[in-house]
Amino acid sequence: MLATAESCTGGLIAAACTDRAGSSQWFERGFVSYSNAAKAELLGVPASLIETHGAVSEAVARAMAEGALAHSAAQASLAVTGVAGPGGGSPAKPVGTVWLAWSLAGRTHSEVQHFAGDRAAVRAATVRHALGRLASLLGHKRA
């Protein structure tokens, strides 16, 4: 079973999963934790972690993925947190910066991506990459 924890995609990954017939067999739940408070309340991400590293960071993405497992009955999770734009970017974290994390089989994997384009393009690329990498980690070929 899969759980998702989404910030910058606002539920688009969960929607992509549940668009597939039969997803009730493998999709457990989705958390949309757009605000910092939601990350803490829904997923147990420590506020101090967000204060120290920022919401768009490896540490927070990993905590979100691990929190999704801890707050669900899933055995695998994926999490995304990023700057979709058009505003909100900085020199250190420009628009298009997305941290992703996947937690499964007792391990958490994470990476940063920099997606080009407008808000819709960044969010769509995030969905594709997050699900593609999950399939790879699970040993499935990309569809």
pLDDT value of residue 32: 98
Q: C-alpha angle with apex 82: 128 to 129, nearest 5 degrees? A: 15
Whole-number pLDDT of residue 141: 61
CATH of domain 2-137: 3.90.950.20
pLDDT at 140: 81
Which residue ranges make up each domain of the chain? 2-137
pTM: 0.96
- Find the radius of gyration of the CA atoms of the chain: 14
pLDDT, residue 80, reads 98
Residue 9 has pLDDT above 50, yes or no: yes
pLDDT in tens, 45-78: 999 999 999 999 999 999 999 999 999 999 999 9
Q: Which amino acid is at 41?
A: E
